[in-house]
Amino acid sequence: MRKFALAGNPNSGKTTLFNALTGSTAHVGNWPGVTVDKREGVYKRLAEHVAIVDLPGIYSLSPYTPEEVIARNFILEEKPDCVIDIVDATNLERNLYLTTQLLEIDVPVVVALNMCDVVKKNGDRIDAKKLEKELGVPVVAISALKGEGIKELMERSLKAASQGRQGRTVLEGSSLDHVIGDVTIALDGRGVQNPLFHAVKLVEGDELEVKEHPAEVATVKAFQKQSAGDLFGGDFEALVADARYKYITAHFAGAYERAKKKENLSRSDRADRVLTHRIWGIPIFLVILFAMFHLTFGTDFLYLNTITGWFNGGAGFAYDVDTGSEVLNSLVAVFFTADGISTPGAIVFNLMDFITSQIGNGIALGMEALDAAPWAQGLVNEGIWGGVASVLSFVPQILTLFLFISILEDSGYMARVAFILDRAFRKFGLSGRAFIPMIMGFGCSVPAAINTRTLADEKERAMTNRVIPFFTCGAKAPILAAICGAIAAEYTGVSADLLVFALYVFGMAMAVIMVAFMRQTTMRGEVAPFIMELPSYHAPQFHNLMVHLWDKLKHYIKKAFTIILASCIVLWFLQNFSWQWQMVGIEESILHDIGSFVTWLFTPLGFGLQLENGWVFAVAAVVGLIAKENVIAAFYIIAVGFGFAGAEQSEDGIAEVMYLISATGITWQGLIAYTVFNMLTVPCFAAAATVKAETPKGRFRYTVAFWLLTSYVTSCVVYVVLSWWWTAFIVAAVLAAVIALIVLRNKGLIGRKKRLLARN
């Protein structure tokens, strides 16, 4: 099968084209650095099938960043039959810089002029024919997003692939022409493949080339000496770059005709003046985040009920509507509750709860009608359906949250977030590049951990991998939603959205604090510079959003009916049977014994021996290692063991937690500490395995120790401070002492002297 590679600048639309060609649902994000590894698919709409390889985005073919190395090696070593160079037509000159380098390789190149829909919308014009003549390779105008021009692109690529091509350079006729020519001939004589490409890179002083072809370095050195002073002071790398840009401006730039002086750009700029403001940038980000959580987890839309309550002597609106029919009443309750008008997230949550309850009732009735044995009824109603249903209840709500996150990402705002966070936290040792995988961690830690490959610095990578799980992922979100929902329901004056938001922000703050801490102690080092091109804002693409959500939904459903279902069944048996394999009450069950074994450990965290049946929380946290949603599923199954009548009281996740509060006597402080523990401790096995794979050999155990220690200590502090507010002073004093110690040590005022003494 022929192989075509997609190469181009970050954010030029490679993955969008890849998805359109192969029907995959790879992650498309409106910020650079999303694709970090190559990815393969098949295009089937030509006379023959063609393998398509999506490469990470690059600006150049130098071997400096991991992305460049992957793309360069692929093109040079795996020799695709054609390189489709995706060029963002709205950024023509900058994108063609890479094109001029690709042209130097002996490989067929076809230029795909992408984003032509935007060009048209701006009223600009681009002359593909003219560009084609100047470049000497086929140029096809396309819109990857709208699917325009794709067929033609592929047909022409196939044709180009069957013709082969010899490399050419735009440096012909420049002052470096001679030396490039000499080196090319020398390399060619030694049978080096792609001699022109290697010759140009050698002249640029590319490290890899210099190491590989020492004989030819001499030629370049000699030329450098003889021309020093005249030619950029002998800095040939700059000279080559300059020559490329000059050529692009002289020959290619004319293909783009602007309708008028750029007005659109300044609209992005004006938005950025506010959104990336030095002082207001972060507060605005927090407000946007809060709005997101309000619309997802809030039960009082825009706080209308609360606000009117202020004027009404606390009465608010009255939503008690009695339609006379039970089913209708529960439908009305989807949109209006005693809390107020439901937010979109609350509506989908209530709807899903309604649906899962109906299914649960149906299953229960069916089992009764079948006259099944009591244990079989229990297994099916509770072990199989109930646990899974309590997780499924949250799926629409979590998808709503993802919809908002995807909108922020696709609009281009998330790229700004990395930028403002970089500016704020650079002095603490974090770079904006490291925030990109962290923000991706809101979705799932697994792809986020893989994304850290683009971090060149080993230490930075290790630190980032450790704190990615602190950015609450979609699987942990149900834990927050259920526990915060229950606390809000039990205590007046607390709202679930505010609590969930606070916990998310707490997780992010912990990530920043722990990285800063490691930077000052075990992982000192310079922060890598952060250069990122900010994509211009655009309206989120409906199609992209749906692809994201669909992907997430599939992932959830698959997990619910495999890992979570299996865990539930095992849990159900463990909690209904004794070691002698007799059916018993929960107090004599195997699960009770296993859980009780470790309960004491969690006493300082507020969910240990001080509770009646405190073991249930330890058990739920442990099964959460398999998949974090299991925490909620386990709550359901255990609550049933204590007499929670699932089918009647609805298995919506929140009701179970409320039931467990009364069954164990856990305080709200204990519940918060428990949530924090789950957020910061070892992530699920899938995430842990990925982090392990991305961590140097033998160092993963330190990461595990980091997770265990951080979660235990933080959760303990949270519990103690929330329970006894004055302990905050002690914690503050200890923190101040630790900071002082670190500062003094880093200044060499303590510690080092001792070592000197020891040596004497």
- DSSP conformational letter for 602: G
Decide: helix, strand or coil at residue 43: strand
Q: Say whether residue 544 binds Mg ion (CB under 5 A).
A: no
Number of residues forming the site for Mg ion (CB under 5 A): 3
Say if CB 110 and CB 82 are below 8 A apart.
yes
Cβ neighbours around 725 below 10 Å, total: 9
Q: Which residues contact 40 (CB under 8 A, 6 or more apart)?
A: 51, 52, 53, 54
Q: Say whether residue 34 binds ligand GDP (CB under 6 A).
A: yes
The two tokens of residue 574 are: 């463990």
For residue 114, the partner it binds in ligand GDP, Mg ion, none, with Cβ less than 5 to 8 A by kind, is: ligand GDP
Say if CB 103 and CB 167 are below 8 A apart.
yes
Q: Say whether residue 12 binds ligand GDP (CB under 6 A).
A: yes
The two tokens of residue 343 are: 């937010």
The two tokens of residue 679 are: 């957020």
Nearest to 711 by CA among 631, 601, 629: 601
From residue 407, how far is each of 27, 398, 543 by CA, in Å?
A: 13, 14, 11
Q: Say whether residue 114 binds ligand GDP (CB under 6 A).
A: yes
Q: Which stretch binds ligand GDP (CB under 6 A): 115-123, 177-185, 195-203, 574-582?
A: 115-123
The two tokens of residue 666 are: 């856990």
Shortest Cβ 94–Mg ion spacing (Å)? 17
Amino acid at 347: I
For residue 10, the partner it binds in Mg ion, ligand GDP, none, with Cβ less than 5 to 8 A by kind, is: ligand GDP
Q: Say whether residue 35 binds Mg ion (CB under 5 A).
A: yes
- The 410-439 contact track toward ligand GDP, x by CB under 6 A, reads x-----------------------------
503-562 residues near ligand GDP, rule: CB under 6 A: 541, 544
CB closer to ligand GDP out of 8 and 383: 8
Shortest Cβ 131–ligand GDP spacing (Å)? 17
User: Whole-angstrom Cα distance, residue 64 to residue 206?
Assistant: 9
For residue 30, the partner it binds in ligand GDP, Mg ion, none, with Cβ less than 5 to 8 A by kind, is: ligand GDP
Shortest Cβ 651–Mg ion spacing (Å)? 40
Strand order in the sheet with 39-43: 39-43, 50-54, 2-8, 82-88, 109-114, 139-141
Q: Say whether residue 625 binds ligand GDP (CB under 6 A).
A: no
Say if CB 20 and CB 144 are below 8 A apart.
yes
Shortest Cβ 119–Mg ion spacing (Å)? 21
Please select the residue that binds ligand GDP; options are 4, 5, 30, 298, rule is CB under 6 A. 30
Q: Say whether residue 451 binds ligand GDP (CB under 6 A).
A: no
Q: Say whether residue 145 binds ligand GDP (CB under 6 A).
A: yes
Q: Say whether residue 15 binds Mg ion (CB under 5 A).
A: yes
Q: Which stretch binds ligand GDP (CB under 6 A): 30-38, 58-66, 328-336, 422-430?
A: 30-38
Closest residue to ligand GDP using C-beta atoms: 13
Shortest Cβ 56–ligand GDP spacing (Å)? 8
CB closer to ligand GDP out of 120 and 168: 120
Say if CB 561 and CB 372 are below 8 A apart.
no
For residue 118, the partner it binds in ligand GDP, Mg ion, none, with Cβ less than 5 to 8 A by kind, is: ligand GDP
Nearest to 62 by CA among 303, 238, 318: 238
Length of the chain: 760
Q: Say whether residue 248 binds ligand GDP (CB under 6 A).
A: no
42 φ, ψ (degrees, to nearest 5): -130, 135
Number of residues forming the site for ligand GDP (CB under 6 A): 24
The two tokens of residue 208 are: 């890899």
Q: Where on the chain is the footprint of Mg ion (CB under 5 A)?
A: 15, 34-35
Q: Where on the chain is the footprint of ligand GDP (CB under 6 A)?
A: 8, 10-16, 28-30, 34-35, 57, 114-115, 117-118, 143-145, 410, 541, 544
